[in-house]
Amino acid sequence: MFEIGSLPDWDNIAGITSGVLALGGALLGVKKFVKRAGAKAGSEATGAREEAASHSTSGNQSPVVANNTGNVNVSYNTTYHNHPPVESTPPNSEPECDIPGRWNRQRAIELCMQHLNAADWNGYDPDLELPLEHNVIDQYSLPYSNRGEGMVVLFYTKTEGHDYHACAPHVSIFEFEKVAKGWNLITEDIAVFRGGVWGEPPQASVQLISGERYAVIFRDGDMHQGWCVEASTILAKLGDTFTRLLFIITAQSDADGNGWSSELTFKDNGEALRDLEVRRKPDEGSTNFVFLDGREELKHMVADYHDNIRPYDLFKFNGISYTYSPAIN
């Protein structure tokens, strides 16, 4: 049986109860504050991640640590820092052509003349006297089968006014390549060959020796007291330099009217460079078909041991030059 105490006891109990309630209210307020603060922090962290994601690019990557609800998350900030935007190149853009549009001979000559006038001619020939004159020999079309069309322009250079017998000009080779919007100058070889007499260049021709390569053939000769000799030089671009592939006597004649001549033809053989066929015949009215007085070291390339001229020879490219093999013939 419980006994009801006096009034002071109830006052004490009421005071204790009020204190407990006040403490509980305070704890409840702290809990709500912590909850609101946590929610705000989480919202700010989420916003920061969304902002970082909305500014991400494929630039420099640096690690960023985000603290959220007690866990450590590592992400990468891929935003460019202090770099101006780079303008992309428009698709299908091409550089300007040296000769826009269709082939223009005059424009080609102007481009070649720029290189000829800027060349160090003293380095090519210290004995060449100024002023110089540059003249066009001709232009030659190259209908390649393995690549686009090309055009070769040949020039000769000599001292202005020099037209005496021993004056042999320097020959330069320029090559243009056809592209989508015009023509580009891709080769300029200055003073690659010297030949000719009386200040005039040698006879020149350009022939394809493969589906994507050409050769320049120079026929140069001399005459002395009724004796004539002609030699042919074949140049081709191997790598980035013109190289002499063959030097051969192609015609002779004497004061009595005897002589012979040659015809050179490139024949497809399925290899890197075509074979060279040389067909020889005596001159009309000649009483013999023999090697006449000339350079003995070159005789074996056109005649047998008895000085008889061979009517036909085949020369093959060996990786360096065209060579004659008696076994082949």
What is the chain's length?
A: 329
Residue with more model confidence, 80 or 299: 299
Residue with more model confidence, 34 or 315: 315
pLDDT, tens digit, for every residue of 164-204? 989 999 999 999 999 999 999 999 999 999 999 999 999 99
| Residue 94: predicted pLDDT | 58
Query: Phi and psi at residue 22, in whole multiples of 5°?
Result: -65, -40
| Residue 162: predicted pLDDT | 95
pTM exceeds 0.75, yes or no: no
Sign of the alpha-carbon dihedral angle for 69, 70, 71, 76? positive
- Residue 12 predicted with pLDDT over 50: no
pLDDT, tens digit, for every residue of 265-286? 999 998 889 999 999 999 999 9
Side-chain half-sphere CA neighbours of 120 within 13 A: 2
Average pLDDT over every residue of 278-298: 91
Query: Can you tell me the distance from the alpha carbon of 176 to that of 232, in angstroms, rounded to the nearest whole number?
Result: 25
pLDDT, tens digit, for every residue of 86-107? 555 555 555 689 999 999 999 9
pLDDT, tens digit, for every residue of 118-160? 999 999 999 999 999 999 999 999 999 878 899 999 999 999 9
DSSP readout, 82-123?
S-PPPPPPPTT--PPPSEESS--HHHHHHHHHHHHHHS-HHH
